[in-house]
Every structure is written in structure tokens, then in C-alpha cells.
Amino acid sequence: MQLKVLEIQGFKSFPDRTRLTFGPGITAVVGPNGSGKSNISDAVRWVLGEQSSRTLRGAKMEDVIFGGTQTRRSQGYAFVSLTIDNRDRALPMEEDEVTVSRKLYRSGESEYRIGSAQVRLRDVYELFLDTGLGRDGYSVIGQGKIAEIVSAKDSDRREIFEEAAGIAKFRFRRTEAERRLAAARENLDRLRDILGELERRVEPLRQESEKAKEFLVLAGEKKTLEISLWMDNLRKARALIRAEEDKILVEQSRRKELDGEIAGVEAEIAALYQKMQEASVQAEEARSQVKSREEAAAARTAEIAVCENNREHNQQAQREIAAQLEESGQAGAESEQAIAALESLMQEKSAALDALRQEGEALGRELAASQEEGTAIQREIDRQRALRDAVYLDVSKAGAEKDASASLLEEARARIEEGARQDFASLLAEVEAQLAQAKEDLTALEEEASGLENTGKGYRLRLERKAAKREELLAQRQKWEDQLREKSQRARLLEDLENSMEGFAQSVKYIVKQGKKGLLQGIVGPVSQLIAAKGEHALAIETALGGAMQNIVAEDEEAAKAAIRQLSRDRAGRATFLPLTSVKGNRLDVRSLSRQAGFVGLAADLVTYDPRFEGVVAWLLGRVVVAEDLDAAVAIAKGARYQFRVVSLDGQVVNAGGSLTGGSTAKSAGALSRRTEIETLTQEVSALTAKIGELEKKLLAAQGEIGRDQAELTALESRKKTLSEDAIRLESRLQRLTQRRQELREARDFAQGETQRLSARAKELEGQNQAAHRLLEELTARLSEVEIQLETALLRKEKHQGLLGELQDRLSQNSLSALAAEKDVERLSGRRDQLRQQRENQANRGQELIARAEALVGENAAIGKKIEDLQAQRAQSQRQAEELRGKILELMAQRETWEGETTQLRGREKELSAKREDSARSLARLEERRLNLQGSYDGVIQRLWDEYEMTRTEAEALAQPVKDLPAAQRRLQELKGKIKALGNVNLGALEEYEEVSGRYEALKGQVEDVTQSEEELSRQIGGLTREMREIFAESFQKIARQFSKIFAELFGGGRASLSLTGEDVLECGIEIAVQPPGKVIKNLSALSGGEQAFVAIAIYFAILTVNPAPFCLLDEIEAALDDVNVDKFARYLRRLCGKTQFIAITHRRGTMEEADVLYGVTMQEEGVSKLLELKVSELESKLGMK
């Protein structure tokens, strides 16, 4: 068995269909890092059934599908197939070539195939058991897995040894046998439980079956007799109803005649009433006109009084005007005298004002001259101060120059001394050493920061993926929580409606409430609360039940009678009761109907209920068939000659007898639908709660992973920040040290010539200092002279300011006196002008009064004329009012006559109405008797339907003549007594007994079979365990011997061994002990990485020697070896390739040189791997090599 072909398409970096053909020997796959060569080993692992995305170097399984590049679109699936040469029939199949393939779609769907047949992953796993292939085999070994052989715990190394020993197949079989044994024991326990339950049910069912047979015989006779009695009652009731209907017709004719006479009288009364109404309207209009005329006369009288009052008022006004004219003449003379006195006083005040103004002008001129003199004195003072400041500034400047020259001289001398003391050579050497150390520290920081940045990128990518996954989980949780909240609210609403019995009649609520309180005994509950139906059947069942859903089930007749008495006593309404002891129904035989199109089932079979309610359910639903739709319902009813009701799933009804009832129905309006919806919602809420709980666990796990990664990333970022701050400090230190070095060099160069220059400068500064000292003495003497002159000028200014103040006081006093005189003149002038204005106003007022007196004379003449006109109008209104009062008296007399005639007609109407009421009462009594008879008749018809679902026509066909009525009634009571004596009858017990007894016998046989199977499985597991121990122990010893031999050969000496760490060879760990030449090793961890890899390779070669795998794919397992050991590894591969075909993914030269075929993997297009095949023998031939 060898690997012939590997085909890849859409897997990782191989988007195009890629085919690798393998021959015997060694095939090497080479290529640069990142070219995708390891994806070939991942493809082989994947097609052999690998389920771990981490093993395949991905975050999730979808990552194996080609994700696309900038120039290529992503693939929709990944496909890998492996073709194996099976001519030696190493695989349990008859084909010479066996192809195993795996395909994964981006939607998450996957498929496995062996050949062209689609299989399960388990089938692929079983195919390669004990061949070394498969997901847990040792045919595909990577660098990580080869290292695990050494680094893993003793107990974790068993997997590869078990596969090599060939016991994986036995372990798989034992696991399967143990699983079947556990299932058999569980099944046996379940069967024994069921068998025990059936044993308890068989005998009671047999007794109930015999009782049911007797009940059916009695019920059949009772039905025939009861229907015959009812039909006899119907015939008698119909004859009485016809007699009452004849009487009703006679009375209705008499009442019609009385109605005609009453209508004539009412018409005459209406005509007289109309005339009286018209007379009343005319009289009312006349009264209104009388009132209007009287009001007009009164208005004229009032206007006359107003006019006379106005005339008297005008005459009084004329007398007042004459008096005002006389007073105005006297006031004018007084005003002329006052004006003359004011003008004389004004002349005196004006003369005094002129004298004050002349004095003020003289003082002003004298003050101006004095101010000019003060200005000249101030200018002299300012000049002396400026001169003093200038001299003082020269003194300060000379002193500063003297001090500066002295300071510079001192500084120059000090710098000369300091330059002589400095050692620039040692300072520069110290700075150079510090610079070198800082550069070395900075390089180390940058390298560490680069490593942290790469690690951080990995953490951030993982965080982004995990955060995206968490967001998906949160969105899903929100969606489910919204659904849960909506369904919970709906369920609570429906529960509230159910608890409050919404939709039930008040009488039903009352009885149920009394029963729950314990005030009524034997009340079970409404029918709708005792049965349940699936959602699709609920509407049909509600329609079939109709008002019967509110019927109340009682334990017996006494409980029902007690409830009825309670309703009557409390006036709580009416209700129908179904005693369990008396309500017994039967079921239709629907076996012939079940073959008809659209048949759903018998309504009684579509509900679930407690068996004790069988009689009630059979009575209500035992003769109702449910069909898919109205067409099917009509067809079924027609085929049965309309002998029973048929209800469609959407609530349409075909009644017995052929009538149809249907139309629209409010969705979920019934109590049964409500209870069904509550149960459905409860299940959905539980399911959603469980799903949310699972999701919460996933969220917690995801949050924990994110938290851990975030903590790691935070630590990295903190370290990066610390490194960045350290780097900034080092860079700053480098700048400072560099600058310091430059400063020292410049200082050294400058200091060499600065000493000479400073010596010359010191001599120059000493001469400048002496000259500055002499200038300072001259300027100090000049400053003293200027200060004496300034003091003299200040004394002159003080004397002049005293004279100037005296002149200013005299001028201010003059100005105040002149201002007071001006105010007196202005006041007198204003008073004179005011008196002149009063004189003019008095003259104008006199003219106005004369004009007003003349107007009043004309106005009084007009008022007299108006009074005469108003008196004439008042007389006319009084005459018209008297005429209208006479007309009113005539109208009232006519109305009294018509009222007398109306009274006579009312008496006639009352007499006729009394006769009509007598007729109505007679008609009502007749109608009541007819309705009572009809009610009795309809009650019998309803009982026919309620009890037996039969129409009157059907009942007539079944009824027999009643010859002896008392004897028939006695027989009916006798039958009812016998049926009651039977108690509760379970009609379903007939079929149930047959079913349960047959099932009981069948289960007894099954228990015996399962017991035998349990014993056989236990024996099989024991045999497999013994065989596994023997095979593993033998194979392990062979592998241990080969390991010791191969280790010494590969290492050039030394010792190595494998040993078991426990007594149970199937469960113990495996210990590895090695001692390379010249070394003493107590722990494998003391070996170098290359030595550990070589030890693992030696174990791997030992396994292949004992149990060669058909082919092996090695993924850079020699990467950790040096060149010498790589050559040893490659030569040993060549020794083993006689029995095993090797495919080596490598980049080591020694391995490539031993290969027969080379495949080169390149990535010419970014993200897309390509293959190049090269046969080494052909290359050697072309190159003339061996």
C-alpha cells in the first residue's frame, strides 16, 4: 500500500487544482519560508479526518478555505483527495486504488467520501485503523509532534505506541462493545420498568373490557326505547301547537280591526289640535303687538320728559354765562396794574447786573497777566530739573563704566587662572566612554521593543477575532432574549386570561369559584380545561364543541343538582352540567372513513384527557369527524349520508342532515386554543432559556479568553511604554553627551588662545578704570551747582502762587453775584409774560360765552317743536293697543269650543284602546302557550342531537310504535338503573386490552433477548482486553529493542531504553531513558534541542522498523539537527524506504540529496502557492552525474 496521488483545491494557499504524484522512495518538498509547503502536510492531516483547527494552524476550521488576495477572490470550499495503491489489499476493500476525499464549504457543511460513496468521518477512521495512517496515527509527523514524544508526560506518549503496536483497532472495538453494553443495560432497565407497568394494567383492563361489552348492549336497547318515547311525545306536541296557532290567527284579526278604529279617532283629534294650535299662535301674536304698542307709548312719554328737562337746563346755562361775563371784565383791569409794577422792578435789576459784569472783566485781565508770569517761572524750573537729571545720568553712567571695567578686569584675571587649572583630556575621555555605553543600551532597547511589537500584533489579531466572536454571541443572546421576553409576556397574558376564565359565562365562573372554595362538592371543571388539543386541531375541536366547551363536568348527578340549586338561589345564571356517572357517549367507527381523501381523524381521538373523562369526551366528540378542509368535509359527510357532523381544520361545519355552517373565526379566540398556545409558549420559553444559558457559558468563556489576552497585551503595552520612555531618556542623554563632547573640544581649542588675549585685555581695562574714576569726580561737582539753581527757582514759584490764588477768589465772588442778578431779571420777566397771557385768555373766554348764549336760545325753540310731535305719536299707539285686545278675546272663545270636542274624542279613543289591550293580552297568552309547546318540541329535537346526534328524520326511521306507554317508561328506568350500576365505563378498554396484552407478551421476549446480549458483550469485552495486553506487551518489547539499537547507531554510541511505568500495560505511562556518549543524563530536559529531536527521531525509526507504515509524511522534523546529524537522518530514511514511502517537507540540503523526486513550492503570485516537479535521476542524467 502506497500513496499515489494527492489533489488539492481551495485549501489554504492552493486555490487552483494542484496534483502531486508520489512514487516509491523519498519525495522531498522544498521551498522558502512562507511559500506554503507545510500546507501540504496540513492537507494530508485534514483529509485523514483531523478535527482540531489549532493542529491545522488556524483559529477555526473555516480558515482552511482559501481566503483570497488582492487579485483573487476567495474560494467557496476547500477540497483534498488522497489516492492510495491498494493492490496488496492492506485496506479492507476490493479496489486496487482507494480514494479518500474531504470537502468543506464556507457555510460550514462538509462531506467525506471513500471512492464515490459519501461516508461518515467514523468510516474514514475505521478504514485506517492499525495501518499507522489516520488522524491519530504516525504517518504524518511534524516538528511539533516529534518534539512531543520527548517533552510529553509518561502517560501522554501511549497514543503513538498503541497505533504502532496495532491495538488501536482492538481498543476501538472494545469501546464500541462497552458503549453497546451500557446501552443494552439501560434498555434492559427501561424494558423491565415498562413490563412491570404493563403487568399492573392487564388484569384491570380485562375487567373494564367485559364491563364495556355489557354497557354497549344495555346502551343500544336504551337508545331505541328512549328515541321511540321521544318521537311519541313529538307527535303529540305538534298537534297541540297547530291548535294554538289557529287561535292566534283569530285573535290577530280582531286586534287589526280595533287598530283601524283607533287610527280614525286619533286623526280627528289631530285635526282639532291643529286648529287650537293655530288660534293660540294668533292670540300670542296679538298679545305681542299690544305689548309693542304700549312700549312705544311709554317710550314717547319718556322722550317728552327728557326734552322738557333739556330746555330747563339750557335756561339755567344762559343765566350762568351772564354772570361769568361780568367777572371777566373786573379781572382784566387788575392784570394791567400788575404788569406795570413788574416792568419797573426789572429796570432796576438790569442796571445792577451791568455794573457786576464790568468789574468781572477787569479782574479777568489781571488774572491772565499773573498766569503768564507763573508759566515763565515753571519753564525755568523744568529746565533746571532737566539739566540736573542729565548731569545725574552722566554721573551714574561714569560710575557704572568704572564698576564694569573693574569687574571685567577681575573676571579676566580669574579666567586666566581657571584656564590654567582645567584638564580637557581626561574630561573628553570620560564623555566618550559614556557615549559608547548609551549607544549600546539604546540598541538593546530597540531590539526588545521590536520583539514586543511583533508579539503585540499577534495578541491584537487574536483579540479582534475573539471580540468579533463575542459580538456575534451578544447579538444572538439579544435576539433570543427579545424572543424570550415577547413569548414570556404573551404567556403571562394568556395565563392571566386563563386564571380569570376570560370568555366563560358568569354562571360557569361562579360554579368553578364555589367549587374551588369548597362550597360545592364534586365539581371537576369546564370541559375546555379538562381536554387538550394540538395547535393545528384546536380550532376544529373548539368548533365541534361550540357552547359545550363551557359545560361543567361533575362527579355525579347529586353534585350537578346541588350546583343548579346554588345558581337558582343566588340568581347567578344558567349552566349545563355533565355528571360522569350518567353521561356516556359512543364513538363512530371511522375505519372506513380513514381511507377517504382529507380525513384527519375522529374528534375524540384528536384530544388528550384523563381516562376518567372518556364518557364525556365520547358524548361530546365521539360522533364528530375532522377533515382537512370544507371540500373534504362535504365529501366525507355526503359519503356517510349526512349521519354525523364533519368539522374542517379551519372551523367550517357540515351538520348532520346536510346543513353547512361557516365563515371567519377570530384567531385563538377559544379557551382550548388559549391553553394550547400557553403550553406551546411554555415549551418555547424553556427552550430559549436553556439556549441562553448555554450562550452565557460561551460568553463567559469568550470573555475570560479576551480578559487573559487583554491582560497580556496590557502588560506588553506597559513594557513598551517603559521601553519607549527609557529610549527617549537615552536619546536625550546621547544628545547631551554629544553636545558636551563638542563643547569640551571647543573649550579646549578656545582656552589655548584665550589666556594671551585676556592678559592684554586686563592691561587695557586697568587704564579705562583710572579714566572713568577721574570723569566721575568732575560730574559730581557739576551736579551740586545745578541743584542750587533749581532750589532758587522753586522759591520764586511758591511766592507767585499766593498772589494768583487771591485774584482767583475775587473773580469767583464777582461771578456768583452776577449770576444771582441774572436769575432775578429772568424771574420777573417770566411773571410779566404770564400776566399778559392771562389777560388775552380772559378776552377770548368772553367772546366764547356770548356765542354759547346765542346757541342756547335756538336750541330751546327746537326742543319745544319736538315735544309736540312726540305727544301725537303716543296717542296713536294707545288707540292701536285697545283694538288688538278685542281680537284676543274672540280667539280664546273659539279655542274653548274646540277643546270640548277634543275631550269627547279622547273618551272614545280610551274605550277602543282598552279593547285592544284585552286583545293583546289574549294574544300574548296564546303565543306563550305556543312557545312553551314549541320549546318542549325543540327540547326533544335537541336531546336527540345532544344524546345521539340524530335528526328528527333519522329518529323516525329508528323509532318503534309505543303500544304500552307506562310499560315502556318502566323498562327505560330499569335500563338506566342497570347502566348506572355499572359505574364508570371505559369503552376504550376493549381495544386497549387487546393492545396491552399483546405488547406485554412481546416485551417479555425482548427482555430475554437483551439479557442474553448483555452476557455476550461482557464476554467479548473481556476477550478484547486480554488480547490487547498480549499484543501491546510483545510489540512494546520489540520497539524498545530497536530503539536501543538505532539510538547507538545514530548517536555513535551511548545507551537508551524504553520502559513501562505501571503494572497495567494498557493504562500505564512510558518512560524514556537515554545516555549519549560521554554524558550522564538524569532528565531528558537536560539534552539540547537538537539532541531531544534526534532521540524522538530514533524512537520514530524504531516504530517504523517494527511496524512499517505504508507511507510517512515528515514535516521538517530534522530542522533542529546540525548538518552531520541531518546526513545520518537522511541515510537512515534511505534504509527504511524499502518498506515505507517517505514524503519529506524540508529545507535541509542533506535530506534533499537523498530524495528521488523534488517538488518545489513557490509563491510567484502573492498568497498563491505553485508546484514545480523535478526528478533527481533525470537531473543527474542530464548533468552527467551518478
Q: Given the DSSP bridges, would you call strands 1168-1175 and 1157-1165 parallel, antiparallel or unpaired?
A: antiparallel
DSSP code per residue over 541-571? HHHHHGGGGGPEEESSHHHHHHHHHHHHHHT
User: Among residues 1180, 1183, 1159, which one has the least CA distance to residue 1171?
Assistant: 1159
Helix, strand, coil content of the chain in percent (nearest 5): 75, 10, 15
User: Among residues 73, 71, 78, which one has the least CA distance to residue 107?
Assistant: 78
- Sequence letter at residue 197: E
- Sequence letter at residue 349: K
SS3 letters for 1119-1141? CCCCHHHHHHHHHHHHHHCCCCE
Please check whether residue 578 is in contact with residue 527, taking contact to mean a CB–CB distance below 8 angstroms. Answer: yes
Question: Does 36 appear as a known binding residue?
Answer: yes
Chain mean position to CA 750:
79
DSSP code per residue over 206-250? HHHHHHHHHHHHHHHHHHHHHHHHHHHHHHHHHHHHHHHHHHHHH
How far apart CA 659 and CA 657 sit, in angstroms, is 6
How far apart CA 525 and CA 199 sit, in angstroms, is 32
Question: Does 38 appear as a known binding residue?
Answer: yes
Which whole-number Å values give the CA distances from 335 to 533, 846, 979, in the listed order?
A: 124, 16, 143
Which whole-number Å values give the CA distances from 131 to 48, 94, 110, 139, 436, in the listed order?
A: 12, 17, 25, 9, 64
Q: Given the DSSP bridges, would you call strands 26-30 and 1141-1145 parallel, antiparallel or unpaired?
A: parallel
Angle, alpha carbons 473-477-480 (nearest 5°): 140
Please check whether residue 1029 is in contact with residue 1066, taking contact to mean a CB–CB distance below 8 angstroms. Answer: yes
User: Among residues 275, 245, 6, 176, which one has the least CA distance to residue 1020?
Assistant: 176
Helices (H), 949-964: 952-958
User: At 832, phi and psi to the nearest 5?
Assistant: -60, -45
How far apart CA 724 and CA 717 sit, in angstroms, is 10
How far apart CA 933 and CA 940 sit, in angstroms, is 11
Q: Is 166 left (phi over 0), alpha (psi -120 to 50) or beta?
A: left
Helix (H) or strand (E) holding 626: strand 624-627
Please check whether residue 580 is in contact with residue 555, taking contact to mean a CB–CB distance below 8 angstroms. Answer: yes
Question: Does 35 appear as a known binding residue?
Answer: yes
Q: Given the DSSP bridges, would you call strands 110-114 and 97-105 parallel, antiparallel or unpaired?
A: antiparallel
Question: Does 37 appear as a known binding residue?
Answer: yes
Which whole-number Å values give the CA distances from 900 to 241, 504, 863, 906, in the listed order?
A: 50, 62, 58, 10
Residue 14, judged by CB atoms within 10 A of its CB (0-12, 13-18, 19+), counts as buried
In sequence order, the 6+-apart residues with CB closer than 8 A to the CB of 919 are 251, 254, 255, 258
In sequence order, the 6+-apart residues with CB closer than 8 A to the CB of 550 are 504, 505, 508, 526, 527, 528, 575, 576
Residue 1157, judged by CB atoms within 10 A of its CB (0-12, 13-18, 19+), counts as buried
How far apart CA 875 and CA 1128 sit, in angstroms, is 159
How far apart CA 824 and CA 112 sit, in angstroms, is 131
Question: Does 34 appear as a known binding residue?
Answer: yes
- Sequence letter at residue 796: R
Q: Given the DSSP bridges, would you call strands 531-533 and 607-609 parallel, antiparallel or unpaired?
A: antiparallel
How far apart CA 1154 and CA 499 sit, in angstroms, is 86
Binding-site residue positions for ATP: 32-39
Extract the annotated binding site. Answer: 32-39
